[in-house]
């Protein structure tokens, strides 16, 4: 049984692929993740969390 891993998406990316990767990991549409990020971005913490995730989460292997 293989363990599911979180990666930044290479095929479904707008900026760094974080939302696409989170969407693929949780099996939901990346657009919903992007909308949630926009709502969190209004508080300022969402933008910081996005860029921290972009640094921490590795790219999807080829």
Residue-wise pLDDT tens digits, 10-21: 998 888 999 999
| Number of domains forming the structure of the chain | 1
**Amino acid 32: pLDDT:** 94
Assess if residue 22 is contained within a domain.
yes
- Per-residue burial over 16-42, b if 16 or more Cβ lie within 10 Å, else e, is bbbbbbbbbeeeeebeebbeebeeeee
**Which range marks the domain in which residue 36 is found?**
17-43
Assess if residue 55 is contained within a domain.
no
Assess if residue 35 is contained within a domain.
yes
Assess if residue 56 is contained within a domain.
no
- At residue 23's C-alpha, the angle toward residues 18 and 10, to 5°, is 50
**Amino acid 1: pLDDT:** 67
**Amino acid 18: pLDDT:** 93
- Those residues of the chain that have pLDDT short of 70 are 1
Assess if residue 27 is contained within a domain.
yes
Assess if residue 59 is contained within a domain.
no
**Amino acid 42: pLDDT:** 87
């Amino acid at each position: 049984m293989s363990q599911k891993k979180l990666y930044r998406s290479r095929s479904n990316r707008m900026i760094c692929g974080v939302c696409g990767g989170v969407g693929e990991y949780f099996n939901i549409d990346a657009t919903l993740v992007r909308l949630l990020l926009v709502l969190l971005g209004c508080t300022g913490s969402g933008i910081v969390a996005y860029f921290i995730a972009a640094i921490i989460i590795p790219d999807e292997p080829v």
